């Protein structure tokens, strides 16, 4: 079993720490490079969304990422006090239109849902709780 709690400041620049944190966690958990790569992508997409849209007006925004690997299950729990946002019901990404009509919106969440097996959201008080489960 491996566990890691990572706290981020509400600044895109702070996401530069993500890669190193995940490599350390992945090493402890015995993950293959590909899984660390996917985990990095999942978290970057989610945290970038929160920082770009959720934390804009609140300088006292906080974000926590709890990672836990037990057996073949990786659980990722994101909590933050940003604006309420449920990725499970966000708009569907456009992944079929031709080049001319293709829009970019929603791709990040589409990538996240493609790489995880379960995604559950709840808002408790002023806090977003997002739980992701990935079978490994």
Partner 1 sequence: MQVEKSLSSNVTILSVSGRVDSGNAKDFEKSVLPEVSGANNGLILDGGSLEYISSAGLRVILMVAKSAQQSDTPFAVCALNDEIVELFSITGFDAIITLEPTIEGALAKFNSG
Q: Which is nearer to partner 1, 1 or 16 (CB)?
A: 16
- Site membership for partner 1, residue 124 (CB under 8 A): no
Q: What is the chain's percent helix, strand, coil content, to nearest 5?
A: 40, 30, 35
Q: Does residue 21 belong to the site contacting partner 1 (CB under 8 A)?
A: no
Which residues lie below 8 Å from residue 118, measured CB to CB, with a gap of 6+? 131, 132, 133
Position 20 contacts partner 1 (CB under 8 A): no
114 φ, ψ to 5°? -70, -30
19 near partner 1 (CB under 8 A): yes
User: What backbone phi and psi angles, to 5 degrees, belong to 60?
Assistant: -100, 25
The nearest distance, CB 1 to partner 1, in angstroms, is: 26
d(CA 99, CA 96) in angstroms, rounded, equals 9
Which residues make up the interface to partner 1 (CB under 8 A)?
12-13, 15-16, 19, 34, 37-38, 40-41, 44-45, 48, 52, 93, 95-96, 98-100, 102, 104, 107-108, 110-111, 114-115
């Amino acid at each position: 079993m491996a566990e890691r709690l990572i706290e981020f400041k509400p600044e895109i620049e702070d996401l530069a720490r993500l890669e190193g944190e995940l490599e350390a966690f992945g090493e402890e958990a015995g993950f293959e490079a590909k899984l660390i790569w996917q985990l990095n992508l999942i978290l970057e997409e989610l945290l970038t969304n929160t920082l770009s849209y959720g934390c804009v007006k609140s300088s006292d925004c906080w974000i926590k990422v709890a990672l836990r690997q037990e057996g073949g299950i990786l659980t990722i729990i994101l909590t933050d006090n940003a604006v309420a946002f449920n990725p499970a019901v966000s708009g569907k990404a456009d992944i079929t239109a031709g080049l001319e009509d293709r829009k970019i919106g929603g791709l990040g969440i589409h990538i996240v849902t493609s790489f995880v097996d379960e995604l559950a959201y709840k808002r408790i008080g002023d806090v977003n709780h997002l739980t992701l489960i990935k079978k490994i």
